[in-house]
Amino acid sequence: MKMPRRQFVAASAAAAATTPAIANARADFPWASKETYLNTATEHPLSRQTAASMQEYLNALVNGPDSARDKFENGQLMTKVKAMFAKLINAQPNEIGFTPSTQTGENIVLEGLNVMAGGNVVTNDLHYGGSLLNYRERRKQGLDVRIVEHKDYVMDFRDLERVVDRKTKLIAIAIVSNINGYVHEIRKIADLAHSHGAYVYVDAIQAAGAVPIDVKAMGIDFLACSAYKWLQGGRFGYLHVREDLQETALKGKLFGGRTTAKGASRYEISTVSHLGCVCQSEALAYIHSLGIDAVRAHVRPLTARLLKEMPALGYPSITPKGTESPIVSFAVKDQAATKAKLKKAKVVVTLGGYMRVSPSVFNNMADVERLLEALA
């Protein structure tokens, strides 16, 4: 299992040298030096820069309101953040609204499409557990919910085709599954939905900031995500609504101070979190400065090494080969022993029935090596 030292150093250098900015990223996330943090699929640490801008905003709120208020004068900062998020997913800024969280966004879509009035909704068991709970509750209230089951942790497209019909209103899928990082074929799914007169909603919380997203090329109608994972911080989120579906297919079902706002902002209802907006302003600028392709290039060798080495240590992969996301998961036989080994080595991953490892820009091959050594 163990890589010869020379080869390991070369691999670490290759991983770290993808771009000069990424080579410096580790220093921007001090958390990475305190423990081996390989758990961004749960939460991304804040960068120094992001924390500093939030601190500056908080100081202004404490010491005198003017400069804090100025930041939000005429909604300029919000407009800037929406434009940066729109650029990240190749949407138009007027297709982006803020939302407190992914699941709030998904509920806005379900209510706006009036799914409870009849028809069916199709999803799969690689979707987020909280969303599946939502669909099961709605099923109890009469909604026809069709949940496609995975085969070996991959959704077989033919299984989806079998349950979609003329009465389908929505296909709801996570672009990247939080369970094993599996990346769904969104374009194919969207084509299937559209050919049956249905829409497609994607949960992008494990995708935005981690993998390339192009809502136009992928045929996405609605998208929601929070910012505290791959968007590098903030209990704050986004809802994308395709321009021609705003208030046509997707009615606003909750009303408030933002109801008369233009574009997807009309789904916001209330004043949004200013602190979240400040946080995202810095974090999105940071992500754009690195570039998603560079982030992928940096993380790919780390996940490839894990997929190669973990099975030999007794942790078979439940992430399909060739998965293009920064999340890799493994079956765990002895949960307690594994937990103790990781705790002793100060290695943080998600452990809950299976092990999920999710490196980001601040990780390097030495982190992966520490995980492998801890489990050896």
The correct pick among 37, 57, 85, 128 for binding ligand PLP (CB under 6 A) is 128
**Smaller CB separation from ligand PLP, 103 or 232:** 103
From the list 97-105, 183-191, 262-270, 326-334, the region that binds ligand PLP by CB under 6 A is: 97-105
- Alpha helices, DSSP H, located in the chain: 5-16, 20-28, 31-34, 48-63, 65-71, 76-89, 102-112, 129-140, 157-163, 186-195, 215-218, 274-290, 292-309, 335-344, 365-375
**Smaller CB separation from ligand PLP, 203 or 367:** 203
**Smaller CB separation from ligand PLP, 228 or 330:** 228
Burial category of 298 from C-beta neighbours within 10 Å (exposed 0-12, middle 13-18, buried 19 and up): buried
d(CA 321, CA 310): 13
Cβ atoms 20, 339 nearer than 8 A: no
Number of residues lying near ligand PLP (CB under 6 A) = 12
Q: Which residue has the tokens 């090494």?
A: 305
The least distance separating ligand PLP from the CB of residue 37, rounded to whole angstroms, comes to 16
The correct pick among 130, 197, 257, 353 for binding ligand PLP (CB under 6 A) is 130
The least distance separating ligand PLP from the CB of residue 237, rounded to whole angstroms, comes to 6
CA 330 to chain centroid: 20
From the list 151-159, 164-172, 200-208, 302-310, the region that binds ligand PLP by CB under 6 A is: 200-208
Nearest CA among 232, 176, 277, 276 for reference residue 28 = 232
d(CA 349, CA 329): 10
d(CA 136, CA 145): 8
Positions 279 through 308 that interact with ligand PLP (CB under 6 A): none
The least distance separating ligand PLP from the CB of residue 165, rounded to whole angstroms, comes to 26
Tokens of 170: 């929505």
Q: How far is CA 323 from CA 81, 123, 184, 254, in A?
A: 30, 20, 10, 38
First to last CA, the chain: 8
From the list 187-195, 198-206, 241-249, 333-341, the region that binds ligand PLP by CB under 6 A is: 198-206
The correct pick among 25, 32, 164, 174 for binding ligand PLP (CB under 6 A) is 174
Question: Beta-carbon neighbour count of residue 363 at 10 Å?
Answer: 25
3-class DSSP state for residue 367?
helix
Binding mask 206-245 for ligand PLP (x = CB under 6 A): x-------------------x----------x--------
**Smaller CB separation from ligand PLP, 103 or 265:** 103
The least distance separating ligand PLP from the CB of residue 241, rounded to whole angstroms, comes to 17
From the list 50-58, 101-109, 190-198, 280-288, the region that binds ligand PLP by CB under 6 A is: 101-109
Binding mask 57-96 for ligand PLP (x = CB under 6 A): ----------------------------------------
The least distance separating ligand PLP from the CB of residue 103, rounded to whole angstroms, comes to 3
d(CA 298, CA 16): 7
**Smaller CB separation from ligand PLP, 15 or 272:** 272
d(CA 163, CA 122): 7
From the list 9-17, 199-207, 238-246, 335-343, the region that binds ligand PLP by CB under 6 A is: 199-207
205 is a site residue for ligand PLP (CB under 6 A): yes
Interacting residues toward ligand PLP by CB under 6 A: 101-103, 128, 130, 174, 178, 203, 205-206, 226, 237
